[in-house]
Amino acid sequence: MDNLSRRLLQASCAVALSATVAAPAQAQSTRKDLKTGNKFFEQENYRAALPYYEKVLAKDPNNAKALFNAGISYMSFDKEKASDYIYKAQKLKPKVSKDVEYWLGRVDHLNYNFDEAVAHFQAYNATLKKNDQRKEELAQLIQHSKNAKVQFNSPKDIFVKNLGPTINTQYSEHSPVISSDDKLLIFTSRGENVTGAAGKPSDKKNKAIAADGEYYEDIFESRRIDDENWEKPRSLSGVLNGKGHDASTQLFDNDTKLLMYRNDNNGDIFVSDKSGGDWSVPKPLDSNINSKSYEGDAYITPDGKTIYFATGRYSEDGTLDLYYSTRAEGGDFGPAKSLGANINTKYDDDSPYLSKDGKTLYFSSRGHNTMGGYDIFKSEWDSVGRKWGAAQNMGYPVNTPDDDSYYRLSPDGSYAYLSSYRIGGYGEKDIYTINYIKNANIRGKVFSAQDSTTVIPGVELVFSGAQADKTALSFRDITKPDGSYQVAVLSGRTYQVAVSKDGKNIETQEFPVPVSTNDSTTITKNFYVKYIDTTSVGMFATKNIYFDTDKYKLRPESITTLNEISSILTANPGIVISIEGHCDSRNTDEYNMVLGDNRAKAAFNYLKKQGITETRMSTVSYGERRPAAPNDSPENMQLNRRDEFKVVGGMPTTGTMNNGTGTTGMGSTTTTGTTTTTTRTSAPLVPGKSKVKMADGTKVKTKVDEDSDKVKVKTKGPSGETKTTTKNGELEGKAKDANGEKTKIKAKND
């Protein structure tokens, strides 16, 4: 806790104690609980103070002072609850404390409300006198919130994962040390299983209790079960753990030596050797490293010749700086040297760690452009200038508004461990892994949604997303002849996938890609789209069949054409066609409507025998009303005695209505004059909309309602317009030809 916070706590506690004495109207038990809570609060033993404040609040929920002090206490364990309590206290009693604006700024900062935090800090600053020493610290807190806002709004594509409840507890876990095979984790805990823990931290008889009311730190080890799980931790109490704080620092020399911390002599660095199956009695490093001041964390290079360590020895106020020392083979470490102004600040700089190649230094600092508390920084070695380069903040979400420290790379350098107190943890500091989000290989095929089996080649797939900092991402591929595609996309986000063909968008789908922390992840994703192969559709424009005068018998050449049409329909099972019967003008209009109907049915029946299901075909007669040529010569009249084939939409071959009670479908519809008969056959429809543009420019729109009980089809082209609606077995339609002649259709399926 910083000095300003500590001074304010002491002042707050004094007010709380006086408030307790001045409230004789309160029940005796409430006064006693509040007094006990304030006593622990004054000692900064917040875990012990909280149960007493909660007892007060259970009886008096609007006790502003209990809320206020409990809120400050919760800052070490539950940031969100801390905010709720302090804000409620201030609402109940605006002047619950003269420092309330300060504490509102603190909890807002910890809860990522950076603008609000700055406003509270500035409001508090306005209450201070010009020469108040707190102004300097307050200026730093304001800068922390500004730094945090910048980092938070420019996040890195990093996946932060908690090691889970086997390792982490409601108490503090930190200082992860990983073996060279990545299978053994040594770490430090202040949990209930530490040496000498005989009860709760508030138990005065408990020998494991430190001055702050928390358990002493002990060293534990756990073996990896798999990528996700660890064995129950085992205490390395024995010779490693002393009577006070003991913390893990580094395994080195092929995992045969352990660098560690003990709070002997105000905190020193020790080393223990592993002989047989256990560790030897730790020995302190020489006086060039350890001193009467605090020495905490350290790192020894693989060759054992250089040590980097944190010490308060050389600063006037005891703040930590980073130093290094070298030694000859088998000798002691020599005089320490500072890592320089690019690393050390006037605030605490701690927890050094080097990459395997020795070119990158990672460390924790309360200075530089921290987001608040300790942040992880890195610095690159300048081989020309022979010094460490400028410190770079590792950014969010590696760092948070609270303390983040003890950054340690995995043996292969592909990810890292760190200790952090962040929202969503198990309580106080937890150990996390830091993984850079990698690409995932997405592959699959694009199918027609009409039958879910027809692949569509030549489809362009564009995956559009964004990096964590909102920089746009785009990945593209085109389906091969077998309908397959493959793209490598940055994982851990949702993509909008635009599906198009021949430059025209078919549809856009949303596809969430889970986080992948390695480049070998492969995900299969097939796309089913509402698409009709217009290349095949266009072929129908040249596949008319023709008839003799006053006949509807199929000619031999018509059989050949119908076989070709059958092949197209078989290869494209999603296509639905309309067969249009036409005549010349040699007979009456009524006669020709019937003749046109017979001609359309002749083709319909033949295709049906070839295996084309009835649900994919409908028939309509136009008689002499839509001539292809003037009826002024035998040759032109032959052109008018014809069947035409038009694509009118798509239909699946399987499926049911949403209510599960039946199916609907398209069948054979015949229009004769003003009388319409409909042959309706059952077939399922998929809810949604589709659009098709024919070779002659005719546009066909189909809409199927949610429950598939209503189907609308609209066509518009050179030959006219039609609108049909099918609902509950009834069909209604309107048609208008190119000359403006209108026809109404109404039929019921009995």
The pLDDT, as a whole number, for residue 87 is 97
269-302 tens-digit pLDDT? 999 999 877 889 999 999 999 999 999 899 999 9
Decide if 600 contacts 644 (C-beta within 8 A).
Answer: no
Which residue, 557, 540, 488, is CA-closest to 700?
540
715-747 tens-digit pLDDT? 777 666 777 676 665 656 676 766 666 656 554
329 vs 258, 298, 488, CA distance in Å? 19, 19, 50
Decide if 548 contacts 532 (C-beta within 8 A).
Answer: no
Check pLDDT > 90 for residue 635: yes
pLDDT band at 28 (very low <50, low <70, confident <90, very high): confident
The pLDDT, as a whole number, for residue 264 is 86
Decide if 544 contacts 565 (C-beta within 8 A).
Answer: no
666-685 tens-digit pLDDT? 333 333 333 333 333 333 34
The pLDDT, as a whole number, for residue 718 is 67
- Other beta carbons within 10 Å of 225: 11
Which residue, 675, 677, 655, is CA-closest to 665?
655
What is the token pair recorded at 540?
A: 């129908």
Local structure of 738: helix, strand or coil: coil
Q: How far apart, in whole angstroms, are the C-alpha atoms of residue 164 and residue 424?
A: 11
pLDDT band at 17 (very low <50, low <70, confident <90, very high): very low
Q: How far apart, in whole angstroms, are the C-alpha atoms of residue 621 and residue 496?
A: 45
Q: How far apart, in whole angstroms, are the C-alpha atoms of residue 90 and residue 68?
A: 8
The pLDDT, as a whole number, for residue 102 is 96
The pLDDT, as a whole number, for residue 733 is 65
DSSP 24-55: TTS-HHHHHHHHHHHHHHHTT-HHHHHHHHHH
The pLDDT, as a whole number, for residue 59 is 92
683-711: average pLDDT:
58
The pLDDT, as a whole number, for residue 11 is 54
The pLDDT, as a whole number, for residue 648 is 75
What is the token pair recorded at 392?
A: 């770079």
Count Cβ neighbours within 10 Å for each residue of 371-401 and write b for 16 or more, e otherwise: bbbbbbbbbebeeeeeebbebebbbbbbbbb
What is the token pair recorded at 168?
A: 């982490």
Q: How far apart, in whole angstroms, are the C-alpha atoms of residue 72 and residue 102?
A: 11
DSSP 655-692: ---TTSS------EEEEETTEEEEE-------SEEEEE
Q: How far apart, in whole angstroms, are the C-alpha atoms of residue 329 and residue 321?
A: 26
The pLDDT, as a whole number, for residue 671 is 37
- Alpha helices, DSSP H, located in 153-211: none
Q: How far apart, in whole angstroms, are the C-alpha atoms of residue 517 and residue 524?
A: 17
141-175 tens-digit pLDDT? 999 999 999 999 999 999 999 999 999 999 999 99
Going 309 to 312 to 315 to 320, the CA torsion angle's sign is: positive
Range name among 380-384, 550-554, 566-570 with the lowest pLDDT average: 566-570
Contact partners, residue 651, CB within 8 Å, separation at least 6: 450, 574, 576, 615, 616, 665, 666, 683, 685
Highest mean pLDDT: which range of 12-16, 201-205, 651-655: 201-205
pLDDT band at 662 (very low <50, low <70, confident <90, very high): very low
The pLDDT, as a whole number, for residue 450 is 73
- For 227-281, give the secondary structure using H, E and C: CCCECCCEECCCCCCCCCCEEEEEEECCCCEEEEEECHHHCEEEEEEEECCEECC
The pLDDT, as a whole number, for residue 275 is 80
**Count of H-run helices and E-run strands, the chain:** 12, 42
The pLDDT, as a whole number, for residue 674 is 33
Nearest-Å Rg of the Cα atoms of the chain is: 40
pLDDT band at 211 (very low <50, low <70, confident <90, very high): confident
Contact partners, residue 100, CB within 8 Å, separation at least 6: 68, 86, 89, 90, 94
The pLDDT, as a whole number, for residue 518 is 86
Backbone φ, ψ for residue 636 (5° rounding): -70, -40
pLDDT band at 185 (very low <50, low <70, confident <90, very high): very high
Q: How far is CA 53 from the centre of its chain?
A: 38
H or E stretch covering 558? helix 556-571
326-376 tens-digit pLDDT? 998 778 899 999 999 999 999 999 999 999 999 999 999 999 999 999 999
Range name among 258-267, 300-309, 396-405, 733-742 with the lowest pLDDT average: 733-742
739-750 tens-digit pLDDT? 666 656 554 443
511-536 tens-digit pLDDT? 999 999 888 899 999 999 987 665 55
Amino acid at 302: P
563-605 tens-digit pLDDT? 999 988 887 777 888 999 999 999 998 899 999 999 999 999 9
What is the token pair recorded at 335?
A: 């005089």
Contact partners, residue 130, CB within 8 Å, separation at least 6: none
The pLDDT, as a whole number, for residue 690 is 61
The pLDDT, as a whole number, for residue 459 is 94
The pLDDT, as a whole number, for residue 687 is 57
Range name among 114-123, 664-673, 690-699 with the lowest pLDDT average: 664-673
Cis peptide upstream of residue 514 (ω within 30 degrees of 0): no
The pLDDT, as a whole number, for residue 6 is 59
Torsion (CA) 373, 374, 378, 383 in degrees, nearest 10: 100
